[in-house]
């Protein structure tokens, strides 16, 4: 190794480090799918190689949120921070509602689930998810013990504490007392350096991404690949079609309005998109999402340090689409198609359910239970909807990959638009 900055120069793995990273990741993705389909379930032995990649990313999630958000909040006025917050949340809500409508349209047009005959078995216990009350949910954002929030990875609580800390730091920086002012400067530099170190680590972890991606994809295709060619092919197609339409129409549209081209946006954000796709975790992908948005798209820290952690927690357009299509699938499969009123109910509950979905693998499938109960189809052991739900669960990993990919893409698209409206994008990044 000739230099401490370049991990693989002069060694036997030279060819590996010299090949373009994205090329390597894409090769890992395709090779993983092919090998998984050929080998089948025994491929699960390589699961640890994939888990290693996800764990390495998760390792940096909490520090990266805290370091970047403290610096972000300390760099702008509280009023501007408030504006960024309101715009971001509004964008997230509106795009999620549109996502559900799109999912319902595609699901209705393709008539997902019709023809899948499911017979009633016996009655039994309900598998329901209780929706927490709004007041309780809002109160939970304030941590009673920030250190506990860190150890538990409670993202909204960490965001709250980091903003309060960052704003207080900014006041200290303009203090008249020299002692406080110099302490604040040192702290600011400390957090600034901490954030940079986290990004250095992300860069290192991404060198391992091709292998991790290969293993993650091979395991999913090896264990679930065959099932998506059966009766579930249509619902899988419907979910992916709606995801792609949302990307092209909704994100393509809002990015255009703010002066960004979709192809360029995809090129600059694809590491995050692929990482989300294979890791199935918006939360775990966060360090890569932040890197792509800051180093690839030129978005400033005040915007992305807030909008991305928040997005990874509450903005789930892909999950919203998945819920809409799957509720239609289940209702049609059991011969109880949804009325328009019930579909409107899906729009409302699925927005809430997608907000409540954690950015971890499989969380959306659990929140789907909430939407099903809201439309009068509670998943009760032995009921037909329980069987239809189990079918969907059987291919959850395949559906989760696509929806997580779109969830993260949505966070990046909204971040760019909010940043542009706040003059917080270095447009030279978008020139070439």
Minimum distance, C-beta of residue 367 to ligand ASP, in the bound complex (Å): 7
Among residues 60 and 81, whose Cβ is nearest to ligand ASP?
60
Q: Does 407 bind ligand ASP (CB under 6 A)?
A: yes
- Inter-axis angle of helices 47-75 and 262-279, to 10 degrees? 130
With CB under 6 A as the contact rule, the residue among 238, 360, 369, 377 that binds ligand ASP is: 360
With CB under 6 A as the contact rule, the residue among 28, 143, 359, 384 that binds ligand ASP is: 359
Minimum distance, C-beta of residue 87 to ligand ASP, in the bound complex (Å): 22
Q: Does 298 bind ligand ASP (CB under 6 A)?
A: no
- Is 57 within 8 Å of 288 (Cβ atoms)? yes
Minimum distance, C-beta of residue 91 to ligand ASP, in the bound complex (Å): 17
Q: How far apart are CA 322 and CA 320, in angstroms?
A: 5
Q: How far apart are CA 369 and CA 359, in angstroms?
A: 17
Q: Which two tokens stand for residue 45?
A: 């032995």
- Is 420 within 8 Å of 259 (Cβ atoms)? yes
Q: Does 403 bind ligand ASP (CB under 6 A)?
A: yes
With CB under 6 A as the contact rule, the residue among 146, 225, 361, 384 that binds ligand ASP is: 361
Q: Which stretch binds ligand ASP (CB under 6 A): 126-134, 167-175, 359-367, 412-420?
A: 359-367
Residues 304-343, interacting with ligand ASP (CB under 6 A): 316, 319
Among residues 60 and 169, whose Cβ is nearest to ligand ASP?
60
Question: DSSP of 372-387, one letter per residue?
Answer: HHHTT---BTTSHHHH
Please count the other Cβ atoms lying within 10 Å of the Cβ belonging to residue 128. Answer: 13
Q: Does 50 bind ligand ASP (CB under 6 A)?
A: no
Minimum distance, C-beta of residue 184 to ligand ASP, in the bound complex (Å): 36
Q: Does 363 bind ligand ASP (CB under 6 A)?
A: yes
Nearest residue to 195 via CA among 82, 88, 75, 77: 75
Among residues 81 and 368, whose Cβ is nearest to ligand ASP?
368
Nearest residue to 334 via CA among 370, 374, 391, 385: 385
Q: Which stretch binds ligand ASP (CB under 6 A): 14-22, 163-171, 325-333, 396-404?
A: 396-404
What is the phi/psi pair of residue 65, to 5°?
Answer: -60, -50
Nearest residue to 129 via CA among 288, 298, 364: 364
- Is 392 within 8 Å of 329 (Cβ atoms)? yes
Q: Does 353 bind ligand ASP (CB under 6 A)?
A: no
Q: Which two tokens stand for residue 36?
A: 């998984």
3-state secondary structure 107-133: HHHHCCCCCCCCCCCCCCCECCCCCCC
Q: Does 301 bind ligand ASP (CB under 6 A)?
A: no
Residue nearest to ligand ASP (CB): 364
Minimum distance, C-beta of residue 327 to ligand ASP, in the bound complex (Å): 14
Q: How far apart are CA 55 and CA 212, in angstroms?
A: 10
Among residues 343 and 407, whose Cβ is nearest to ligand ASP?
407
Minimum distance, C-beta of residue 404 to ligand ASP, in the bound complex (Å): 4
Q: Does 246 bind ligand ASP (CB under 6 A)?
A: no
Residues 247-286, interacting with ligand ASP (CB under 6 A): 280-282
- Is 330 within 8 Å of 306 (Cβ atoms)? no
Among residues 275 and 281, whose Cβ is nearest to ligand ASP?
281
Q: Phi/psi class of residue 113: alpha, beta or left (left: φ > 0; alpha: ψ in -120 to 50)?
A: left
Residues 6 or more apart whose Cβ sits within 8 Å of residue 15: none
Minimum distance, C-beta of residue 309 to ligand ASP, in the bound complex (Å): 13
What is the contact surface with ligand ASP in residues (CB under 6 A)? 280-282, 316, 319, 357, 359-364, 400, 403-404, 407
């Amino acid at each position: 190794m000739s230099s401490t900055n370049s991990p693989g120069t002069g060694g036997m793995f030279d060819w590996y480090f010299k090949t373009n990273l994205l090329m390597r990741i894409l090769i890992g993705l395709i090779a993983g799918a092919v090998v998984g389909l050929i080998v089948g379930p025994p491929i699960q032995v390589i699961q640890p190689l994939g888990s290693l990649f996800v764990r390495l990313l998760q390792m940096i999630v909490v520090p990266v949120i805290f370091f970047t958000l403290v610096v972000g909040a300390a760099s702008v006025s509280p009023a501007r921070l408030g504006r960024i917050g309101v715009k971001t949340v509004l964008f997230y809500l509106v795009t999620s509602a549109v996502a559900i409508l799109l999912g319902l349209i595609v699901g209705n047009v393709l008539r997902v689930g019709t023809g899948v005959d499911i017979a009633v078995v016996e009655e039994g216990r309900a598998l329901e998810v209780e929706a927490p009350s709004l007041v309780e949910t809002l109160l939970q954002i304030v941590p009673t013990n920030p250190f506990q929030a860190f150890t538990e990875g409670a993202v909204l609580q960490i965001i709250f504490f980091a903003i309060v800390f960052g704003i207080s730091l900014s006041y200290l920086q303009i203090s008249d007392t020299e002692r406080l002012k110099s302490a604040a400067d040192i702290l600011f530099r400390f957090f600034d350096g901490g954030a940079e170190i986290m990004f250095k680590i992300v860069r290192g972890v991404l060198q391992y991404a091709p292998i991790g991606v290969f293993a993650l994809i091979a395991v999913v295709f090896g264990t679930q690949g065959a099932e998506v060619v059966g009766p579930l092919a249509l619902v899988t197609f419907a979910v992916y079609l709606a995801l792609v339409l949302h990307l092209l129409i909704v994100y393509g549209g809002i990015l255009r309005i703010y002066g960004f081209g979709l192809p360029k946006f995809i090129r600059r954000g694809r590491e995050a998109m692929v990482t989300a796709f294979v890791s199935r975790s918006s939360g775990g992908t966060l360090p890569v999402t932040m890197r792509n948005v800051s180093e690839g798209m030129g978005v400033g820290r005040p915007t992305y340090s807030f909008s991305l952690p928040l997005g990874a927690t509450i903005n789930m357009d892909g999950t919203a689409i998945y819920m809409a299509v799957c509720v239609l699938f289940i209702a049609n499969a059991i011969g109880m198609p949804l009325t328009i009123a019930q579909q409107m109910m899906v729009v409302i509950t699925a927005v809430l359910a997608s907000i409540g979905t954690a950015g971890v693998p499989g969380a959306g499938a659990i929140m789907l239970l909430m939407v099903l109960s809201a439309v009068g189809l509670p998943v009760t052991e032995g009921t037909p909807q329980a069987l239809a739900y189990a079918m969907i669960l059987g291919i959850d990993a395949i559906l989760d990959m696509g929806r997580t990919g779109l969830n993260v893409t949505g966070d990046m698209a909204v971040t760019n638009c909010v940043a542009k409206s706040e003059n917080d994008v270095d447009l030279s990044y978008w020139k070439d």
